[in-house]
Structure 1
């Protein structure tokens, strides 16, 4: 799924009335009535968790490369590369923590956070303790972040030279020619070959199921009998797998902007659905810009705004801004506006200024950040490996061409760029898994909280409804008529109150509740030159 927005922003947030009983554990901790994992991997996870519980985590000063303040401590957790062979090769996951700031009587253990991706790290998560909307939670919980396998310093994956990953300028045609398609097919083959060559036999072990198993080992290493977890975006899929595999190990679990968990959606169909949803969110953005024509001068109708965008795209194809911002970089920057509406003012301003002859705001927002090339390449490698390994993908280009050509007629904004991102999966050499059927029955799992924005493009709202249906007893909180991706801890106080009630007191509505949307951005009251947010956002 598209990866724009991985490197920016912030997330998270809280509830109300009654919640219900704890899960009834089964003999083996697995949910009856569903497919159990292979016995060897199940045993291997139990062995690794037992070892981790005995070893714990030796937290100390964080390495310099983590760029974390002294208030945050860091450590590592050892996990098997292959859970079927727990005595074989192991890897170490990096972990960060800040201790709860409240009194001992307030302490409720650790809260582990995953921001999504695949390929994102939450090593920064303890910094949330200083944010106003997180302070009550930070009094009650140790905030724990980690880098999943393959990410950052956790047995990092790489598929190509970092400088090749951020090459610019690039093109982004909505109706690609046959010659352009052949170029992208060749690039996808080369990228898949690079992953296989650089990672070798280890490549097959970077999967969502192993991410869920790693999470259980992390739980044990932190000394927790049951896990309190918040996952955003792709992090919700890790959480859904965990809840299915280990329902008796769950204390409280928050799913913020949920991936559709149906096995037939993982991952090819989810990507097609996502591209369609981005078209609607792109329309939302253009309608907002048109309502503020007095501020931006980009047109008084969504169609006029679209025309100005296409005008900029054509100009950049002929003469890239700053020599590095072409149509591909423009597209990536404006895809961010599909994720987060607090990007709407700076993106619209940059487009307006560019068309008036001032390139600087657009270059500042859209140019590749060379200093972050290594991290960006690593994140993309993990994203690709996990999605390609997780499930079967079409292996015939004719299928991709047919499906995306048809979809692009209805949703031209993001369809082909999303296809190119995922096309290496057509030529993947590592074995593919069959996705686990996400599902629990009544009484197996404590009530969990699902947060969803009704117009979210990155994880369309249907996914949240389906997850609530599959995890029996789940509570769905909907921010109506809003589309920001990752709503917990954001600007909506109603959403945040549900999140806080749930995590602090175990309280939630019986089944579902709704919140009015947070206010749209106001171009008059916002400083258009304000810097970008510095904490990462959830990403899928």
Structure 2
């Protein structure tokens, strides 16, 4: 069978720990059963070292692949820890952190995110990172060729342009999603239905038990908010503090993807206007319309003649990545200008190649988790939504429509992931007013299924990721007081944002 090597590799990942183990920690019984063991030791090379005297340590927790069959196949969840820096009297417990995705590796996040947290939070909490199942060092998902997702245009394996414009293009688009689903089924095998958010929430509780903690606090960003709400739904009385930053709304994944695609179109218009207001810096035109025309010349040129494998699909991925972070707008503007002047795409390429091994694992886990979380869309709905997007703009960015592959998924979940619980303590939600990746409307919608929660909004801000990310004192003080002292604001909090940035200096 052509996919047998991938099945063998996955089975090894399922059954073998990839993180060195040493020194055992205390454990606590969970629901009357022995707590899983967790031994900490050295970390993989992908985990950076924090500044001395602090140190990061890593280990694994063994969990069932299918939590409803505890005696069946088991996998290992990779965990990292940086201990609280304060006195024993200051320590509050553990703070699990997740960077988003689905598909983001959380193992290094215990170090990188912790470095940005307020000092009082670092003193109070052991910060715990973990790779959710299907990602990083935790039974990584394998989708093989992924329907030609990363193939350069012109190879015959993928349509030349990822935005279908006619019936043949639509058929080619759906065929690529069908092939992607088939590749994921062949590569991931029996694990396919079990790499879900609900199963990951149960893994989180196994980590809690292995750490010997009665309750956990949690900070999730982007998809991490969805995971946190799923944990609160299943284990409401095991939640201490719950911070959900840049919130995924409680829709099904395809609906979320489509809402995001429309928000990205609105953000792109803001970008065009910003580039026009800095015409002397970028030279792309003095009006949003002129900048838009320059943008289309770049994209049309790359669709017709890719440069070193960088075509329309790679361009759209670069734009998708840039639109959610205003600090990336200068590089995108410079990249557009460089292509028009020199035919170069060097400035348009991201620092980490999209076709690297880590990115392939991310993209695989992203589809596998989304499609395991609930019923997927029908192919007709996928096409109808793409037509709606093209009706709004002839050149939408479809990169984020990851759940389109769920139309052809080989395992059909019967129910959507449950989110939130009246029994959980009040949560603190954080949102940027103009974030196009996870919209403010989504944060408000999730807030309605988390009773007693409060929303902290950073106004006049256009980026994804807010707490301990944007450097906003109002946000960081409010969230820090909640995490350390349990202070729940009496009402929603409104913070003044920075507005759009000035362009970075030329390099």
Q: Shorter-chain TM-score category?
A: 0.7 to 0.9
Q: What is the TM-score with the length of structure 1 in the denominator?
A: 0.82
2:405 is matched with which residue?
424
1:129/1:291 Cα in 2 relative to 1: closer, same or farther (>3 Å)?
Answer: closer
- Residue 154 of structure 1 and its aligned partner are, at CA, apart by 0.7
Q: Quick check: 1:320–1:326 contact (8 Å CA) kept in 2?
A: yes
- Residue 470 of structure 1 and its aligned partner are, at CA, apart by 1.4
Q: Counterparts of 1:49 and 1:386 in 2: how far apart (Å)?
A: 27
The 5 A counterparts of 1:377-396 are: 377-395=360-378
Q: Determine whether 1:246 maps to 2:235.
A: yes
Q: Counterparts of 1:275 and 1:364 in 2: how far apart (Å)?
A: 21
1:506 is matched with which residue?
486
SS at 1:356's partner residue?
helix
When the two chains are superposed, the root-mean-square deviation of aligned CA atoms in Å is 2.4
1:342 is matched with which residue?
327
2:318 is matched with which residue?
333
1:136/1:346 Cα in 2 relative to 1: closer, same or farther (>3 Å)?
Answer: farther
The 5 A counterparts of 1:42-53 are: 53=35
Q: Quick check: 1:227–1:250 contact (8 Å CA) kept in 2?
A: yes
2:15 is matched with which residue?
none
Superposed CA offset, 1:453-478 (max 9, x none) = 11111111111111212111101000
Q: Determine whether 1:216 maps to 2:216.
A: no
1:125 is matched with which residue?
109
Q: Quick check: 1:117–1:235 contact (8 Å CA) kept in 2?
A: yes
Q: Counterparts of 1:93 and 1:507 in 2: how far apart (Å)?
A: 32
1:236 is matched with which residue?
225
SS at 1:466's partner residue?
helix
1:156 paired residue among 117, 134, 140: 140
Q: Quick check: 1:393–1:426 contact (8 Å CA) kept in 2?
A: yes
Q: Counterparts of 2:438 and 2:133 in 1: how far apart (Å)?
A: 23
Higher RCO structure, 1 or 2 (CA under 8 Å, sep 6+): 1
Q: Counterparts of 1:329 and 1:125 in 2: how far apart (Å)?
A: 27
1:236/1:411 Cα in 2 relative to 1: closer, same or farther (>3 Å)?
Answer: farther
1:160/1:426 Cα in 2 relative to 1: closer, same or farther (>3 Å)?
Answer: same
Q: Quick check: 1:122–1:147 contact (8 Å CA) kept in 2?
A: yes
2:87 is matched with which residue?
103
The 5 A counterparts of 1:294-333 are: 294-321=280-307, 323-333=308-318
- Residue 150 of structure 1 and its aligned partner are, at CA, apart by 1.0
1:355 paired residue among 340, 357, 366: 340
2:451 is matched with which residue?
472
Q: Counterparts of 1:132 and 1:436 in 2: how far apart (Å)?
A: 31
Q: Quick check: 1:72–1:97 contact (8 Å CA) kept in 2?
A: yes
Superposed CA offset, 1:348-402 (max 9, x none) = 11112221226154354388455xx22212111111111112111233x333222
SS at 2:137's partner residue?
coil
1:11 is matched with which residue?
none
- Residue 162 of structure 1 and its aligned partner are, at CA, apart by 8.2
1:162/1:139 Cα in 2 relative to 1: closer, same or farther (>3 Å)?
Answer: farther
Q: Determine whether 1:113 maps to 2:93.
A: no
The 5 A counterparts of 1:482-521 are: 482-491=461-470, 492-521=472-501
1:434 paired residue among 389, 394, 415: 415
1:180 paired residue among 160, 166, 169: 169
Q: Quick check: 2:142–2:187 contact (8 Å CA) kept in 1?
A: yes
The 5 A counterparts of 1:60-75 are: 60-64=41-45, 66-69=46-49, 71-75=55-59
1:142/1:133 Cα in 2 relative to 1: closer, same or farther (>3 Å)?
Answer: closer
